[in-house]
Amino acid sequence: MSAPWDAGLQPERAELSWRRTVLSVTAGTVVAARYLGQSHPVLGALLPLAALGGGLLLLRLGAIRFRRLNARLRAVGSQPAEPVMPGAGMLGLLTGMCVLIGVTSVVFIMVTAW
């Protein structure tokens, strides 16, 4: 094997899967934030906007990562000098958005039940 990756479209598939994950988590976070801020108009506007901002940031970081990975892998005869996995910032932001969805869901269920 002369290339450091398979002959298929592995970097493209990975980038598309990241994009789908980010879009679904962003949509869930926006909906959850909207429900959390339903009783307060300022929170109802700010929380979904913050979720959208986080999603856009994640999409941008993913695109940058894909371009870097693709350039490294397509360089003739080169092996990546550093890991090409997503950085901790990207994973941390995605985790934070998932936690926000969970917390918002619990708060919404508790408030609705009372």
The total domain count for the chain is: 1
Is residue 74 assigned to a domain?
Answer: yes
Q: Could you list the pLDDT tens digit for every one of the 114 residues in the chain?
A: 455 555 556 777 778 888 898 888 888 878 877 777 777 777 778 878 888 888 888 888 888 878 877 777 777 555 656 655 656 777 787 788 788 778 877 887 887 788
28 to 48, 76, 82: CA distances (angstroms)? 10, 41, 33
How many whole angstroms separate alpha carbon 63 and alpha carbon 56? 11
User: Which residues lie below 8 Å from residue 29, measured CB to CB, with a gap of 6+?
Assistant: 51, 54, 55, 97, 100, 101, 104
Is residue 28 one of the residues assigned to a domain? yes
Range of the domain at 87: 10-113
Q: Is residue 4 part of a domain?
A: no
